[in-house]
Amino acid sequence: MYEILPYSPELDQRFDHFVESESVNGTFLQTRRFLNYHPAGRFNDASFALQKSGTIVAYFPGVLKDGTFVSHAGSTFGGPIISKSYYMGARLFEILQEADQYLTTNFKHSILKITPPLFAEESPDLLEYVLEHLGYTRHTELSSQTTLSKGVDPFENCNRNQRRLWNYAQKFIDALPESEKWEYRAIESDEDIRTFHRFLVISKEKHNTKPVHSAEELIDLKKRIPQNLRFRGLFFKGRYVCGMMQFIFEKKRILHDQYISPDESFSEFHHTTPMNLFALREAAEEGFLHFSWGISTENGGNFLNEDLLHYKESFGATACVNARYEK
């Protein structure tokens, strides 16, 4: 009944059309336009689709890592991505049983990072139910989001400490001449993106990590998906103070904070507070419904960074879950 369609580059446009126009839970993160920014050789691509009578009904972007199928190692979440016309009980059981047979035959282990409810057009409840009944084990990571409303200042949702830090910074700025005020603006040039990345590396090093992307990959990615990626920066007297890389999920009107990159040597005011508030206010006025902060967990969700979670909560963030299924 169903045919396995292994990925090949000539299928890029067809797969992307399915993800963006025909699925219930596809986002730009599963498009080949996004995934192909990874340089050749970084991953062993193992993506595949299921089709019936020449029509794609499900898509599994993924890579092969040590005998494991990971959907997808190069993206926050991968799949499966399901057709709108097949997202119903009996049909979903059929296609996932077919995919499961393919996965268990060809891989020692499978990891499926499904699209979270916040980003999907349909609830993933049915998908999660079927995966559990096919023997997959659920694991979760804790993420956060702030609900936005146009005309409502996100400052009202901040806790006492963030309000104090903002008022201190604003008082400091108000005392300066007009020519020395801070500036919140788009980061557009390649040079500014490289500056953003340089401070991102420094910031990550303090936590014994490093960015997933190189500076050149960020520049390339901005050109590949200009409608889904933007950079914002805070500048003081022309000096870079802090920056943020944002992903735009247009269908669900979500703005996601992918990276924040502060110049830690800057000491005039607590720069991440105004950076986040400028970003939240801009998103609210643009009509975004949610500001996504990303995960506060490490080691696949086994460790909760309580300080990081509390920091996000101080801006009015509430918890949500990213789930993955393993077998």
The Cα 255–Cα 239 span in angstroms is 26
Ordered DSSP codes for 96-144 = HHHHHHHHHHH-SEEEEEPPPTTT-SS-THHHHHHHHHTTPEEEEEEEE
Q: Where does the chain hold its CATH 3.40.630.30 domain(s)?
A: 3-135, 145-321
| pLDDT given at position 319 | 96
| pLDDT given at position 212 | 81
| pLDDT given at position 233 | 97
Enclosing H/E stretch for 325: strand 318-326
Average pLDDT across each block of 10 residues of the chain; the chain has 327 residues. List them in order. Answer: 94 97 96 85 90 96 95 88 96 97 97 96 97 98 97 96 94 87 94 96 86 90 94 94 97 96 87 96 98 94 95 97 97
From residue 266, how far is each of 1, 223, 236 by CA, in Å? 62, 30, 10
From residue 97, how far is each of 3, 58, 130, 177 by CA, in Å? 13, 12, 9, 67
From residue 61, how far is each of 27, 163, 212, 224 by CA, in Å? 12, 43, 19, 18
pLDDT digits (tens, 9 = 90+) for 44-87: 999 999 999 999 999 999 999 999 999 988 888 889 999 999 99
Nearest 5 degrees, angle CA 244-CA 247-CA 248?
A: 125
First to last CA, the chain: 24
36-63: burial string, b at 16+ Cβ within 10 Å, e else: ebbeeeebebbbbbbbbeeebbbbbbbb
DSSP 23: B
* CA proximity to 202, closest of 210, 194, 190: 210
Cis peptide before 72 (omega within 30 of 0): yes
Residue whose tokens read 């950076």: 275
The Cα 260–Cα 262 span in angstroms is 7
pLDDT digits (tens, 9 = 90+) for 86-104: 999 999 999 999 999 999 9
| pLDDT given at position 209 | 84
The CATH class given to the 145-321 domain equals: alpha beta
The Cα 126–Cα 219 span in angstroms is 38
| pLDDT given at position 39 | 72
The CATH class given to the 3-135 domain equals: alpha beta
pLDDT digits (tens, 9 = 90+) for 9-52: 999 999 999 999 999 999 999 999 999 887 777 789 999 999 99
3-class DSSP assignment, residue 171: helix
The Cα 226–Cα 254 span in angstroms is 16
